[in-house]
Homo-oligomer: A and B are copies of this chain.
Amino acid sequence: MSAPAKPTILVQLDTDPQPSVFDGVVAVDSGVEHLFRHGGVTPENVRDLVYGALFTRGAGDLSRTALFIGGSRVPAAEAVLEAVKKAFFGPFRVSVLFDANGSNTTAAAAVLAALEAGGGSLRGTRVVTLAATGPVGQRIGRLLGRLGASVAVGSRDLGRARSLAEQLHATTDAEYVPFEMGRPEALAEQLESAAIVINSGPAGVQVLPASLWRSCKALKALIDLNAVPPLGIEGVEATDKAKDRSGVLAWGALGVGGTKMKIHKKAIRQLFTSNDHVLDAEEVLELGRSLD
């Protein structure tokens, strides 16, 4: 009990050829003492890297080594996460944070903004999610459903919206309504009863003109995750953070980003509190809810 704790080591497993500098800096700023940075990680080559984390420190020190899974292509990183979990067995495991392309921390920060707008609860709240089929949008949908919201999931492609709605329902047991985002009547219909609108669409694409949301009677909050002009929701600025915009609370990408960064750092620190955390979307949101 009196031996000094071993230094913390975070093994950064990145699916991109160059491991992310962003994730590296956040790790350092979270107090990680040694960072092992790996690019080009695949489900095929990750097992030996994981074994190196499992078989080097005794059971009492396994919580001082942890894994971070990142990369710009979220599905590739999800495959690495599966391979990492398969490499664990019995007590031989270390904690893992999944945050490819910032997907989990961004989704958690967006949902925290929604919760703030909802007075701490989203139970029964009508939320419209725009461009919902991307990695961040899917996670937002999943988290909202688990919180009891009623979620409309919009995509340019109705088929993709439908299959996402089915998949999210199967995962969370909540109700999801798919709709075709590019069809004005479909969008207007969903917006009519919406309390909250969240856009996780691509950079530089406007998905909601101001004229459409200004007439919505039930609307309480707008959350736009697009940081690159033209922004996704007209009338919301990137720096907005619970800013009043025509009677609606607005969050822009940078307004959400500050919270995202705090969650990211807290999640890294959390990794070293035990050797069996798997911090995916739900766990990351939970950490965000207890931010100071």
Measured CB to CB, the residues of A under 8 A from B are: 6-7, 9, 11, 16-18, 20-26, 28-29, 34-38, 40-41, 45, 48-53, 55-57, 65, 72, 261
| Shortest Cβ distance from A26 into B: residue | B56
Instruction: Tell me the bound Cα distance from A6 to B37 in angstroms.
Output: 20
Q: Once the chains bind, are A37 and B36 in contact (CB under 8 Å)?
A: yes
Contacts of A22 in B (CB 8 A): 51-52, 55-56
Q: Once the chains bind, are B9 and A25 in contact (CB under 8 Å)?
A: yes
Contacts of A49 in B (CB 8 A): 18, 21
Instruction: Tell me the bound Cα distance from A287 to B236 in angstroms.
Output: 47
Instruction: Tell me the bound Cα distance from A7 to B29 in angstroms.
Output: 8
Contacts of A25 in B (CB 8 A): 9, 52-53, 56-57, 65
Contacts of A17 in B (CB 8 A): 40, 45
For the A-B complex with A21-B50, A25-B57, A29-B56 known, give 7 more contacts whose Cβ atoms are closer than 8 Å: A9-B25, A18-B40, A20-B52, A21-B36, A29-B57, A34-B35, A56-B261
> How far is the CB of A220 from the nearest CB of chain B, in Å?
30
Q: Known contacts being A35-B34, A38-B18, is A23 close to B6, with CB within 8 Å? A: no
Contacts of A20 in B (CB 8 A): 48, 52
Instruction: Tell me the bound Cα distance from A25 to B11 in angstroms.
Output: 10
Contacts of A34 in B (CB 8 A): 28, 35
Of the listed residues A7, A20, A25, the one surrounded by the most CB atoms of chain B closer than 10 A to its CB is: A25
> How far is the CB of A61 from the nearest CB of chain B, in Å?
8
| Shortest Cβ distance from A45 into B: residue | B18
Of the listed residues A45, A51, A56, the one surrounded by the most CB atoms of chain B closer than 10 A to its CB is: A56
B6, B11, B21, B52: which contacts A52 (Cβ < 8 A)? B21
Instruction: Tell me the bound Cα distance from A236 to B41 in angstroms.
Output: 37
Q: Known contacts being A18-B41, A36-B37, A45-B18, is A28 close to B9, with CB within 8 Å? A: yes
Show 20 A/B contacts (Cβ-Cβ < 8 Å), sorted by A. Answer: A7-B29, A9-B24, A9-B25, A9-B28, A11-B21, A17-B40, A17-B45, A18-B41, A18-B48, A21-B49, A21-B50, A21-B56, A22-B52, A22-B56, A23-B52, A24-B52, A25-B56, A26-B56, A29-B57, A48-B72
Instruction: List 6 tightest A-B contacts by C-beta distance, closest first.
Output: A21-B52, A22-B52, A25-B56, A21-B49, A28-B34, A24-B36
